[in-house]
Amino acid sequence: MGKPRIEEWTQLRGIAFLAIVMQHNIAEYIYRSDIEQPDSVMLTMIYHLTRFGTPTFVFLSGVMLFYHHRQVKPEYRPFIRKRFGDIYVPFVLWTLIYWLSVRIFTPAFWLSGTPDVRSLIRELFIPQTGYHLWFVIMIFQFYVLFPLFRLGVQFVNSQLTKITRITRMQSVLLLVLLAAGVYSLLMKWSYYDMASWTAALAKPWSTMLEYRSYSWVMYWFYFLLGAVCAWAVDTWRNWTIRALPWMISLFIGMYFWLGYDVLRGSGDVVNLNISTYLKPTTFIIIMAQMFMLYGFLVLLRGKTTKFLGALTWIGRYSFGGYLVHALVIYAIAYFTRPLQLGGWHLPVTLLSFLVTTATALAISYGLSRLPGSRYTVGLQRKRSRNLPGQGSNTAEPRLKAGSVTPLSASASPSSETS
């Protein structure tokens, strides 16, 4: 018997996917030269509603891995082999698709005689055309290191049983707060200090700091927070409900602060990088928003509505949608970039978001029904067993349960705006 499905995880994944798609649509339009200030300000305000997206996927990756492997130690080679097929092979395939899709519309590509293979190899390590694929590189590091994370969490758990002065819940809460403080210090170094460190250091250390957003080190807190959730799901639900009023208040305060911070620090063009993930204040709003959304989903748990059903469906196909959505944005931009959109950037961004979401999810769903879907969208088809009285050809393709892939539904775990 498999473990019971935690429905709010799939729904939270769906919300996070929508947030990332909105981020990237905003980034497509907010930097255009003909944008007017009201549109620019409004898009900035919407942007700060989406900052929880990518860190939430890291959190859900930790949740699903620890949930499925809390008692069962994974055999490392089969574990990595499976994740390589579910996650890294689709990454390589879509890297090639993005690399080709950008170049086939460039005359120099056809006139050069031989394609620049070095740029393709570079894309596998530092994605540019598929700018969002950096996340797959980063999250795969957690899968590689997962046995070590698991050992560490089990050790901490064994030590907690020896503490008698305070309750176990209080011990875990203190550890979470301590880890949050350490992570905040890391964010402070990243945003305010590491640029000067990069200039002072020699290679390869300067290169590692320059591309630090590609490293698991910058996102470890969200992953380990997922372990806390997976270890005690009901307790976590109670936490999110009890903390909901505080999280709502904290989110509202940080929302206004981040908006003010970006507008104050920007010139004629809004600089969204002021709200990078790797910044202490952004970390605070991400945590407030993630806890707040989780609390709302817990309050709605057990209810059957079209809205929750839609979120579950989106979460199920979100990994494939994530892989393809930037390609859809490119296709839309092919038609919108030559246009003068002065005064229309906000409605066009919202329309582009709706078209991107629907198209990306439709492609993900379509590919999931085809053979080889594991290597295209990270979802593996499974034929149901024949029931008595049924012929051998009546099996219906279904998504394979138990597969742990970023943003996918069946088990799943999993950008920064470029």
Percent with pLDDT over 90 in the chain:
69
Structure confidence at residue 114 as a pLDDT band (50, 70, 90): low
Q: What does the pLDDT look like over 249-274, one tens digit per residue? A: 999 999 999 999 999 988 888 999 99
Would you say 256 and 285 are in contact if contact means Cβ atoms under 8 Å apart?
no
Q: Which of 115-129, 209-223, 226-240, 393-407 has the lowest mean pLDDT?
A: 393-407
Burial class (CB in 10 A: 0-12, 13-18, 19+), 367: buried
Q: What is the pLDDT of residues 57-78, one digit of tens each?
A: 999 999 999 999 988 888 899 9
The per-residue pLDDT for 410 is 40
What pLDDT shows up at residue 298? 95
The pLDDT assigned to 287 comes to 96
The b/e string for 141-174 (b: 16+ C-beta within 10 A; e otherwise) is bbbeebbebbeebeeeeeeeeeeeeeeeeebbee
Half-sphere exposure of 72 (CA within 13 A, CB side): 9
* Mean pLDDT within 189-209: 90
Contact indicator for 15, 313 with CB cutoff of 8 Å:
no
% the chain with pLDDT above 70? 88
Distance CA 273, CA 33 (A): 18
The DSSP bridge pattern shows strands 397-399 and 381-383 to be antiparallel
d(CA 209, CA 22): 28
* Maximum pairwise Cα distance, the chain: 74
Residue 417 confidence (pLDDT) above 70: no
**pLDDT average, residue stretch 268-283:** 92
pLDDT in tens, 228-256: 999 889 999 999 999 999 999 999 999 99
DSSP 8-state symbol, 382: E
Cα 121 to Cα 165: distance, rounded to the nearest angstrom: 55
